[in-house]
Amino acid sequence: MECKDFEPSIIQDKRILQLCKRLNKFSLDEIATISEIPADNLLPILNELICENKLSLENNIYSYQKKQNISDQYPIFKYYPKASIDFLLRCFCESIITTKVSHILSIGEPQVQKFYTIFRTLIYERQKNYWIIIIPKSLKTHDTEHFSIKKFIYIFTMDRFLFQKIC
């Protein structure tokens, strides 16, 4: 990798994302003019934002993608009161099994399992971009598929850790 005069930083990425949010729809020339950053340096940042589904590109026009509400993404949230969902989340955090939670809330166990799966999926989606773990060569690992992405698992002091291979 060669050194460049312009190295994008996390702070600059956030500022560009804020600018994209304010502009809503824009072309590469418009954002380059407003941000005073050369288009060649903006392209990798904009492409990264497209990969993260924060922007979309159609006919050379970038559009900011508003975050979708969880209740819109998972319709099961619309059928239960907020207090029940809050209680389900607390039970999930305390690792209370689904059969007990379903008896306490008087809802079906499959529904509780759906909520638990949604919570696990949301946790995974938020954490998957931050997994960087350095693995000692002495640890034994094996490959696995998790959410259609190849992952590696290793066991250390009887705890399982899931990580992406860096090399």
Cα 6 from chain centroid?
27
Q: How confident is the model at residue 20 (pLDDT cuts 50, 70, 90)?
A: confident
Determine the average pLDDT of the residues in 114-123. Answer: 90
Comparison of pLDDT for 131 and 157, the residue scoring more? 131
Mean residue pLDDT of the chain comes to: 77
Say if residue 88's pLDDT is above 80. yes
Tokens found for residue 15: 């500022």
Which pLDDT value is given to residue 85? 92
Say if residue 32's pLDDT is above 70. yes
Which pLDDT value is given to residue 1? 38
Q: How confident is the model at residue 5 (pLDDT cuts 50, 70, 90)?
A: very low
Determine the average pLDDT of the residues in 36-52. Answer: 86
Say if residue 15's pLDDT is above 60. yes
Residues carrying CATH 1.10.10.10, the chain: 10-64
Which residues is 26 bridged to in the sheet?
62
**Spatial CA neighbour of 44 closest among 71, 83, 81, 4:** 4
The fold of the 10-64 domain, in CATH, is Arc Repressor Mutant, subunit A (1.10.10)
